Chain A
Amino acid sequence: MQADLIQEARRQAEICNACRYCEGYCSVFPALHRERFLTDGDITQLANLCHNCRGCYYACQYTAPHEFDLNLPKALAEVRRDSWESYAWPAPVARKFHTHGGAIAIASVLGFAAMFLAIRLIGSAGGDGFYAAFSHGAMVAIFLPAFFLPLASLAISLKKYWSSVGGTRIDLKSVARAFGMAAEMRDLSGGHGDGCNFEEEDRFSHARRHAHQAILYGFLLCFASTSVGTLMHYFLDMPAPYPLWSLPKLFGIPGGVLLTGGCVWMMSLKLRSDRTLGDGNAWGGDFGFIALLGFVALSGLALYVLGSTAAMSLLLALHLGSVLSFFLLTPFTKMAHGFYRLTALIRDAQQRQA
Chain B
Amino acid sequence: MEHDVVVIGGGNAALCAAMTAAEAGTSVLILETAPRAYRGGNSRHTRNFRCMHKGPLGPLVDDYREDEYLADLMKVTAGKTDGELARLAIRSSEECLPWMQDHGVHFQPPLSGTLSLARTNAFFMGGGKSLVNAYYRTAAKLGIDVLYEAQVTHLELAGDQIAWIDFSHGGESHRITPKAVVVASGGFQADTEWLTRAWGPAAKNFLIRGTPYNRGMVLADLLDQGVQSVGDADQCHAVAIDGRAPKFDGGIVTRLDCVPFSIVVNKNAERFYDEGEDVWPKRYAIWGRLVAAQPDQVGYVIIDAKSLNLFMPSVFPPLKADTIEDLATQMGLPADRLRSTVDEFNAACGDQTGFHPTELDGVATSGLTPAKTNWARPITEPPFYGYSLRTGVTFTYLGLKVDENAQCSTQEGPIKNLWAAGETMAGSILGQGYLAGFGMTIGTVFGRIAGREAAAHAS
Contact = CB atoms under 8 A, between A and B. Distances in A.
Interface of A: 14-15, 17-25, 33, 36, 55-56, 58-67, 190-192, 194, 202-203
Among B107, B130, B133, B315, the one with the most A-chain Cβ atoms within 10 Å of its Cβ is B130
A20 B315 contact: no
B315 A18 contact: yes
A99 B39 CA distance: 37
A24 B314 contact: no
5 contacts: A20-B113, A20-B114, A58-B130, A66-B249, A191-B125
Among A17, A24, A25, A33, the one with the most B-chain Cβ atoms within 10 Å of its Cβ is A24
**Majority secondary structure, A binding face:** loop
B306 interface: no
A59 B251 CA distance: 14
A63 B108 CA distance: 22
Contacts of A20: 113-114
A140 to B, nearest CB: 52
B357 interface: no
A20 B255 CA distance: 13
A65 B37 contact: yes
B133 A192 contact: no
Contact of A61 (B128, B137, B317): B128
B109 interface: yes
B237 interface: no
A203 B137 contact: yes
Given A21-B127, A61-B129, 11 more contacts: A19-B253, A21-B252, A23-B112, A56-B126, A58-B130, A59-B127, A61-B45, A61-B127, A64-B37, A191-B106, A202-B137
B47 interface: yes
Contact of B133 (A24, A25, A202): A202
Contacts of A17: 313
Nearest to B129: A61
Contacts of B37: 63-65
Given A18-B313, A21-B252, A65-B37, A194 B127 contact: no
Contacts of A63: 37
B104 to A, nearest CB: 9
B44 interface: yes
Contacts of B313: 14, 17-18, 36
Nearest to A19: B253
Interface string B227-271: 000000000000000000010010111010000000000000000
Interface residues of B, number: 34
B112 A15 contact: no
A202 B104 CA distance: 12
A273 B108 CA distance: 26
A64 B255 CA distance: 21
Given A62-B251, A67-B246, A194-B106, A23 B129 contact: no
Contacts of B315: 14-15, 18-19
A276 to B, nearest CB: 14
A25 B112 CA distance: 12
B253 A59 contact: no
A249 to B, nearest CB: 44
Contacts of B309: 36
Nearest to A30: B112
A15 B253 contact: yes
Nearest to B109: A24
A192 B105 CA distance: 10
Given A14-B313, A22-B127, A192 B106 contact: yes
Given A18-B315, A192-B106, A60 B253 contact: no
Given A58-B130, A62-B251, A202-B130, A21 B109 contact: no
B146 to A, nearest CB: 14
A33 B108 CA distance: 16
A67 B137 CA distance: 26
A24 B129 contact: no
B364 to A, nearest CB: 28
B312 A59 contact: no
B130 A59 contact: yes
Nearest to A32: B313
Contact of A24 (B108, B252, B317): B108
A23 B47 CA distance: 12
Given A15-B315, A23-B108, A192-B106, A61 B251 contact: yes
B253 A18 contact: yes
Interface string B102-143: 000011110011100000000011111110011001000000
A21 B129 CA distance: 10
A25 to B, nearest CB: 7
A169 to B, nearest CB: 27
A22 B126 contact: yes
A67 B108 CA distance: 27
A18 B124 CA distance: 16
Contacts of B130: 21, 58-59, 202
A131 B127 CA distance: 61
A61 B107 CA distance: 17
| Nearest 10 Cβ contacts at the A-B interface | A59-B126, A21-B127, A59-B130, A18-B253, A192-B106, A202-B133, A18-B315, A24-B125, A17-B313, A61-B129
Contacts of A18: 252-253, 255, 312-315
B59 to A, nearest CB: 10
Contacts of A25: 125-126
A86 B129 CA distance: 36
A23 B133 contact: no
Contact of A60 (B125, B129, B314): B129
Contacts of A66: 249
Contacts of B125: 24-25, 59, 191-192
A339 B373 CA distance: 55
A19 B124 CA distance: 13
A192 B107 CA distance: 8
Among B38, B126, B313, the one with the most A-chain Cβ atoms within 10 Å of its Cβ is B126
